[in-house]
Structure 1
Amino acid sequence: MAGGWHFWFGTFTGGVLLTLAALPLAALLVWVLARRRRVAGATPAWRMALAEVGIVYGTAPLVWMIMLPGSQAGAVPGRVSLVPLRDLVTIIAAGPLTATGQVVGNLLVFAALGFLAPMRFAALASVPRVLLLAAGCSVLVEVAQYVLRLDRVSSVDDVLLNAAGAGLAALASRRWWQATAGASPDRARPAPVPGR
């Protein structure tokens, strides 16, 4: 493989290229899951398959990339920033390009989860629940960065931005998940009643 394993699995560029290369596989998986559900009589088959695959496809690569170790990984102790908005101010002071990349990147980490999870799981069909789920997932990532000494700052601002991105994505998909909030997504279609 060109560039070696480190390029493909240890760099942002490699992660982006692998994510793009996996898109046809993700589409095929959606098709297979939806077809199996339709054969079993589950409804709505396509929406549920797309949500399940989309959550993983849209979240796992971004989490992988933010877990990539820095140049001093293992050599420096974990760093923590627990003062809200302190890191954001520092990022903004670094310049508009850096600030935009950092903020947009953090907003996108759990955006697929926020957009699709309410469509797949009726229990998550609420923006506050999506915010709590995304914040919990983000806390786990930040703790892992600290414990694994990845030469990254475990920041409360990352948690806030990750949760905000998921919440905004949930709002964007609200019209699709509100209709399915009261129904179980994998419930089989009821058999027709004779005489009706």
Structure 2
Amino acid sequence: MNHDVPLSAPPRRTGGIVFLGLAVLGSVGALFVLRRPLMMSAPTCMAGRWHGCFDTFNGVVFLTLVTLPLAVLMAWLLARRRRAAGVSSAWPLSLAEVGMVHGTVPFVWMILMPGAGAGIVPGRVSLVPLRDLVTMGPLGIVGNLLVFASLGFFAPMRFAALASVPRVLALGAGCSVLVETAQYVLRLDRVSSVDDVLVNAAGAALAALASRRWWRTAPDTPSDRPRPALAQAV
């Protein structure tokens, strides 16, 4: 019996199946909880009208959930291409890339929606920490925690350089500062608050902790495929 034969490794697609299952369960749960407000914007969105769909929170959430199958398909295509190229961990890498975009862009879109006085009301800034936190309410706090949660969850899975909670915290804070600055510069009739930055960054860091077991710790490498042996000198 040859004791030098290594045990077979678990399938590389296990991580991808887990992430896919979590995405499906999360989408089903969100649809169940938000079914009534989403159905209010569904006719407008399905008709392709901008007003009432793209400029409302309900419409953006509806489109995010409806386009989830397209995001999964994109992740599958990327994973298939990587597997053909011999890249290891094709599924987790592809899901992380798609998840970062699909889970972050809708929130940024909602944050940058102009208010009723956009272009008229001057930009407002709140730089006193924790002053606005008490006025956010539970829904506002949860919403701000989710803004960069997908980025914090998937970024360390995709980039080994971000496999650190402090780095993800800094990434979330930096992205939040950019968004808050855009609100002020574009005069969107919104308050650019330091508390938004703090909660956004905290949400990214907490999400990173949730994905810690899947963090990427090494650069992309080809899978261990058999290579032709070099000809030995006679």
Larger RCO: Structure 1 or Structure 2 (Cα < 8 Å, ≥ 6 residues apart)? 1
SS at match of 1:24: helix
- RMSD over aligned CA atoms reads 1.5
Percentage identity across aligned positions? 70
Mapping of residues 31-42 of structure 1, within 5 Å: 31-42=76-87
Does residue 114 (structure 1) correspond to residue 152 (structure 2)? The answer is yes
Instruction: Verify the 8 A CA contact 2:86 2:225 in the aligned structure 1.
Output: no
With 4-13 and 100-109 compared, the bigger mean Cα shift is at 4-13
2:196 maps to: 158
Q: Deviations over 1:115-142 (max 9, x none)?
A: 1100100000000000001100000000
| Structure with max Cα Rg | 2
1:188 pairs, out of 219, 222, 230, with 222
Q: Deviations over 1:27-57 (max 9, x none)?
A: 1001100000000101110000000000000
TM-superposed CA distance for 1:190, in Å, is: 4.2
| One-letter code aligned to 1:15 | V
Instruction: Verify the 8 A CA contact 2:173 2:200 in the aligned structure 1.
Output: yes
* Aligned mates of 2:161, 2:135 — CA distance in 1: 37
Total equivalences in the alignment: 184
More helix by share: 1
TM-superposed CA distance for 1:89, in Å, is: 2.2
TM-superposed CA distance for 1:7, in Å, is: 1.5
* Aligned mates of 1:17, 1:190 — CA distance in 2: 42
SS at match of 2:50: helix
TM-score w.r.t. length of structure 1: 0.90
Does residue 125 (structure 1) correspond to residue 158 (structure 2)? The answer is no
2:71 maps to: 26
* Aligned mates of 2:135, 2:103 — CA distance in 1: 28
Unaligned runs of 5+ in 2: 1-41
Q: Deviations over 1:51-95 (max 9, x none)?
A: 00000001000110111111111110000000000001233xxxx
SS at match of 1:154: strand
